[in-house]
Structure 1
Amino acid sequence: MVDAVSATTNATGRIAAGTGMLASNFETFLTLLTSQLKNQDPLSPVDSNQFTAQLTQMAGVEQQLLTNDLLKSLVSVQGGGGLGQAATYIGKEATAAWSATKMADGKATWSYELGANASSATLQVLDGSGNVVWSGDAPSKASGLHDFTWDGKATSGNDGQDGEVYTLKITAKDAAGGALDSQVLTRGRITGVEMYDGEPYLTVGNAILPLSSVIALEEARNPSVDEKPGLLSSLASSLNPSNLFS
């Protein structure tokens, strides 16, 4: 799906470039042909077979221009289909390599992943201008996936504001002081899809991120009957013979 979106965008660019080149060649061809007719020797005019061949070439270039226009229209239609395909992801749980999200209800939430146990791991929250407004130790330095919620309280600068976009950055080191593989992730249920510059973008929690940033998808998890407190006991009570005749 992501590869198809990238291929569609690249194809549109190549078709547009090819159309421009053909149009330029077409204009040049007409100029040369007109000059040839104007300056030909009346006593030795252009051979009819040669002139016919030139007209055929001109018609071929014109046909190629029309073909390119049709291909461009086809690619545009396929781009719209990409939105329809991306819409099938709505309701699924997504994990994306994406670090920007909006603050809502006084908090912003991310996930981060460590490739191994870290000796030190520092988190930084940056505002829309790239300024660090909060920094501190990661809540867990163990290998694996962890969640982090910022309460909007700044350690420098202004406190976070609802509706503003903030970015999380992580720096982790191993026991030897070397850089440790780590990444910031956005996780949540996909609730919407929109197109921007020919690419589908997904709404995941309070973040809007490109489909190309998604690295994992799962079916939305629904509580089972066993996980719903009191459901089985209520059902058993309703089927109790003594209750049927009360």
Structure 2
Amino acid sequence: MSTTVDPYSSINTPSTSANSGTAAASADRFLKLLVAQMQNQDPLNPMDNAQVTSQMAQINTVTGIEKLNETVTGLNTQFLQMQAMQGASLVGRDVTVEGNRLDVREGIGVGGMDLSGTADSVKVDILDASGRTVDTLDLGAAKAGTHSFTWDASKAGDTSGYTFRVTAKLGTATVTNTALMRDTVAAVSTSGNKLQLELASSGTVDYTAIKAYN
């Protein structure tokens, strides 16, 4: 009695082929098993063309996915390299990221916020290193979106550790906001498939965390 050999008993499905070797090795193994199956098939119940076509289609799918994965990996690597080259040009430049540290230079403090909606009253409390409010700015009404402010720090003395707090209202309702701060790019690095920026005050952040380039 003849023995039927199943080509799929020794090859992987498309979801696992990448872990078991190259597509070329899988295809070669498949063809050898397919020939063995045809040589040992039951003469009274031979394989039909549809079955052979189906099996060939599956191995082609395995090979295609393997090649597609290799192509995508290559493109990702090239894209990351391009990003790193572009990111290098940012070293020394100012950027805007999430945070509430007050950036003070030459006696002027700078900060900002992103309002989720329109506000008829926006106030900014300037806090010293101990968290004590040293001044309050009344910015008035503002529309949804990103806004910035400046604060005269010339008479404040040591402003290291200064932060700010934004309060936005529409009537009696609170308008959600995100504090934004200015920082400086010190270096660029890559980690895995991510481009990261080393900021002078905020440390390491993903490239995508940058809200604006100043």
TM-score where L is the length of structure 1:
0.48
Name stretches of at least 5 consecutive residues in structure 2 with no aligned partner. Answer: 1-12, 102-108, 141-147
Counterpart of 1:211 (choices 175, 197, 207) is 207
Do the aligned partners of residues 78 and 58 (structure 1) sit closer, same or farther apart at CA in structure 2, a change above 3 Å counting?
same
Q: 1:23 to 1:57 in 2, by over 3 A?
A: farther
Structure with the larger helix share: 1
Which residue in 2 is equivalent to 1:78?
79
Contact 1:113–1:146 under 8 Å retained in 2: no
Identity across matched positions, percent = 13
Shift of 1:174: 4.0
Q: Which residue of 1 aligns with 2:150?
A: 146
Query: Which shows bigger deviation, 110-119 or 181-190?
Result: 110-119
Runs of 4+ in 1 over 6 A off after TM superposition: 21-24, 114-117, 123-126
- Residue 200 of structure 1 corresponds to which residue in structure 2? 195
Query: Any idea what SS the aligned residue of 1:141 has?
Result: strand
Q: How many residues align?
A: 166
In terms of fraction of residues, the more strand-rich structure is 2
Report the equivalent of 1:43.
44
Q: 1:173 to 1:70 in 2, by over 3 A?
A: closer
Deviation of the 1:119 alpha carbon? 6.7
Q: Deviations over 1:199-224 (max 9, x none)?
A: 32223331233322323224xxxxxx
**Cα distance in 1, alignment partners of residues 114 and 18 from structure 2:** 54
Deviations 1:152-201 (A, max 9, x none): 59xxxxxxxxxxxxxx6734144844324643222133221122453322
Contact persistence 1:94–1:214 (CA under 8 A): yes
C-alpha separation between the residues in 1 aligned to 2:122 and 2:69? 59
Contact 2:100 2:111 in 1 (8 A): no
The answer as to 2:96 corresponding to 1:92 is no
Distance between the aligned counterparts of 1:141 and 1:197, measured in 2?
A: 44
Question: 2 CA distance for matches of 1:138 and 1:197?
Answer: 44
TM-score normalized with structure 2 length: 0.53
SS of the residue 2:131 aligns to: strand
- Equivalent residue for 1:190, pick from 185, 190, 210: 185
Over the aligned positions, Cα root-mean-square deviation in angstroms equals 4.5
Write the deviation string for residues 10-68 of structure 1: whole angstroms up to 9, x where unpaired. Answer: xxxxxxxx9627769x99xx7xx98xx59964422213x34542442243123213212
Partner of residue 170, structure 1: 165
Partners of 1:55 and 1:95 in 2: CA distance = 56
CA distance in 2: counterparts of 1:124 and 1:195, whole angstroms: 35
